[in-house]
């Protein structure tokens, strides 16, 4: 499977550009944000390195669940007990490693970097090896990082909102839905759903799945065989007219009846992104009362940071990055914008797409005749 995957990955972008019910109109991903082939098990049976997988255990109230990499190169999930359900969770934002001997280093990674993006295409393999009646496999994404003042700020599976691909072998269906609110993840029957498709699942058979999210566009498909056997059309193609385009954590989870015992294998996870096609994100529903430019966060940063600003009147707006010699190195915004509060991602690159060197930079906001400027620090 591993050798066939390398061929498959080399043509993935071609498949994405040519497949899909409406990809003629939909943006296509342009880069790989992270991937995990689970082929480093000799040194990393815990799944901490290459891509760091966060698991939840007894300290979180979840007992007897298992998340580990197997000797033959898969991520193995075994559900345990959480309150009145059976569950297991494996979560990541694509961070390169979790160092159990130096959690402070992991904490810095989680606070300074996000290796994913809300707009993404997730392709993966799964094997429903042993699923009991009523149990489901979930891929949830756009999960929101908890307060970065906390140590190891991950996305709390019981609190974070998410968009989810729900795979149900009992009804031979899969669905796209979203949920929000405390413990909402544990009650799939109460989710808001955008579409469902039929698929005949069997135990101990490998399937591929693809979950596409771009702004409010939501797509999904499942197929058996090789990556190159991907069907042309999406089996679910829907749109959320009021999308939440935030959150960068992704999790695989099994939900079922206690005390658990469901077993699933995951392999060949590939997460691709779209670049900055629509980088400016309105983030408030109420109108600001003053022209403002916030301190970028995180700061210092590597390799990316976010800049938030507020406008009180419609005007030609420019947000530009300068080095300390006064040279403009990047233009992030140059357009007429209405009043509102906005947030934009800066990836540490200049206008030519090259990574900037470490140092202090100035970011300057101009709207009409008003100007504000602040400093930020890029570290490598």
Q: pLDDT, tens digit, for every residue of 217-272?
A: 999 999 999 999 999 999 999 999 989 988 999 999 999 999 999 999 999 999 98
Choosing among 3.40.50.1100, 2.60.40.3080, 2.130.10.10, 2.60.120.560, the CATH entry for 2-273 is 2.60.120.560
CA dist 174 and 198 (Å) reads: 7
Q: Is it the case that residue 10 has pLDDT exceeding 70?
A: no
Average pLDDT over residues 54-81: 94
What's the mean pLDDT in 147-163? 90
Mean pLDDT of all residues in 92-117? 84
Q: If we measure between CA atoms, which residue out of 184, 199, 171, 114 comes closest to residue 148?
A: 114
pLDDT exceeds cutoff 50 at 3: no
C-alpha 117 chain-centroid distance? 5
Confidence tier at 20 by pLDDT (50, 70, 90) = very low
Q: Which two tokens stand for residue 232?
A: 């042309």
Average pLDDT for 358-362: 94
Per domain, the residue ranges of the chain are 2-273, 280-378
More confident residue, 154 or 48: 154
Place of tokens 């959690």: 103
Model pLDDT, residue 285: 54
Confidence of residue 141 (pLDDT cuts 50, 70, 90): very high
Position 122 pLDDT exceeds 50: yes
> How high does pLDDT run on average in the chain?
86
Taken in order 75, 52, 123, 147, is the CA torsion positive or negative? positive
State residue 282's pLDDT score. 62
Question: Among 31-45, 127-141, 354-368, which is the least confidently predicted range?
Answer: 31-45
| Average of per-residue pLDDT across 82-90 | 96
CA angle 196/201/202 to nearest 5° reads: 165
**Which architecture does CATH list for 280-378?**
Sandwich (2.60)
Specify the residue for token string 């994913």. Answer: 116
Indicate the pLDDT class of residue 278, thresholds 50, 70 and 90: very low
Q: Which long-range contacts (CB under 8 A, 24 or more apart) does 299-302 make?
A: 299/376, 299/377, 300/112, 300/376, 300/377, 300/378, 300/379, 301/112, 301/348, 301/376, 301/377, 301/378, 301/379, 302/112, 302/113, 302/348, 302/378, 302/379, 302/380
pLDDT tens-place string over residues 295-305: 998 889 988 88
């Amino acid at each position: 499977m591993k050798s066939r995957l390398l061929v498959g990955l080399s043509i993935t972008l071609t498949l994405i550009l040519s497949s899909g019910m409406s990809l003629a109109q939909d943006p296509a991903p342009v880069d790989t944000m992270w991937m995990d082939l689970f082929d480093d098990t000799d040194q990393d049976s815990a799944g901490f390195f290459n891509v760091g997988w966060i698991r939840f255990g007894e300290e979180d109230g979840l007992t007897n669940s298992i998340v580990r990499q197997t000797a033959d190169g898969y991520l193995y999930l075994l559900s345990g007990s959480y309150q009145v359900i059976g569950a297991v969770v494996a979560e990541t934002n694509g961070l390169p490693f979790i160092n159990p001997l130096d959690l402070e280093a992991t904490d810095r990674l989680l606070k300074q970097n996000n290796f994913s993006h809300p707009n993404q295409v997730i392709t993966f393999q799964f094997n429903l090896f042993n699923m009991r009646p009523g149990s489901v496999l979930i891929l949830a994404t756009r999960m929101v990082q908890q307060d970065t003042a906390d140590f190891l700020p991950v996305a709390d599976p019981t609190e974070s909102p998410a968009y989810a691909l729900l795979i149900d072998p009992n009804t031979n269906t899969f669905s796209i839905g979203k949920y929000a609110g405390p413990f909402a993840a544990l009650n799939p029957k109460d989710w808001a759903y955008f579409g469902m498709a039929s698929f005949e699942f069997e135990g101990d058979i490998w399937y591929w799945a693809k979950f596409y999210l771009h702004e409010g566009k939501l797509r999904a498909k499942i197929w058996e065989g090789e990556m190159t056997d991907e069907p042309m059309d999406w089996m679910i193609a829907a749109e959320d007219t009021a999308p939440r385009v935030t959150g960068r954590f992704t999790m695989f989870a099994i939900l079922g009846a206690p005390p658990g015992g469901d077993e699933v294998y995951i392999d060949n996870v590939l997460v691709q992104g779209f670049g900055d096609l629509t980088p400016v994100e309105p983030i408030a529903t109420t109108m600001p009362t003053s022209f403002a430019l916030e301190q970028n966060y995180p700061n210092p940063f590597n390799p990316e940071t976010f800049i938030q600003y507020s406008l009180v009147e419609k005007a030609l707006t420019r947000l530009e990055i300068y080095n300390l010699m006064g040279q403009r190195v990047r233009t992030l915004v140059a357009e007429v914008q209405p009043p509102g509060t906005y947030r934009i991602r800066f990836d540490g690159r200049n206008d030519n797409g090259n990574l900037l060197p470490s140092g202090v930079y100035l970011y300057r906001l101009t709207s009409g005749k008003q100007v504000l400027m602040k400093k930020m620090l890029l570290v490598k």
